[in-house]
Amino acid sequence: MNRAGVTIEVKNWPPFFPVIHHDIANEIPTHAHQLQYSAFASWLGIVVCLSWNVFAVLVESIHGEDIVLFLLAIIYAAFGCPLSYILWYRPLYQAMRTDSVVTFAQFFVFYSVHVGFCVIAAIAPPIIFMGKTLTGILVAIEVLNTDMFVGVLYLIGFVLFTAEYLISIWVLERVCVYFRGHR
């Protein structure tokens, strides 16, 4: 394959069970390392947010005896984690490697959707998502009135989604500056 010019990317991350190829230090230009590490932290942040959401909704489902809430939270995490990697993190990684306008554009489109999701998840209006499937502030206030422990779990979820939103806005702004200044 190497003689034919096809590069095979060896899966190397996470170290204990490699599922993706990830090598910022060797594949991304030195001046873009910090930005790529920040975007990677943002991707890990959404994984943490969705995982915490699953945990908090599980506890609520056990207390409220409503398994549908938990199943929807599982669906959000099961689709959100890999899709965020495929739709916006990997395109940014490729764009930084190849300086491709098309992959930068893909990143901007899908990362903007990601930012919007983080805002909606932090608020969790009941008209968009079913019941208590996201740990946003509106649901957290509602749950605090009935169960203090679960309410605190939902408040922690709200803080995580809010932090992810703020980090995501910063990353989006930095990538935009990088893209405009690099052209």
Domain residue limits, the chain = 31-182
In angstroms, the CA 159 to CA 121 distance is 11
- Residues 125-151 have pLDDT tens digits of 877 767 789 999 999 999 999 899 999
- Residues 72-124 have pLDDT tens digits of 999 999 999 999 999 999 999 999 998 899 999 999 999 999 999 999 999 99
Tokens of 6: 């096809």
Tokens of 101: 């306008």
Q: For residue 171, which phi and psi values (nearest 5 degrees)?
A: -65, -45
In angstroms, the CA 67 to CA 61 distance is 6
C-alpha torsion sign, points 171, 173, 176, 181 = negative
The model carries a pTM of 0.91
Query: Taking Cα atoms as reference points, which of 134, 136, 132 lies closest to residue 122?
Result: 136
Is the pLDDT at 6 greater than 70? The verdict is no
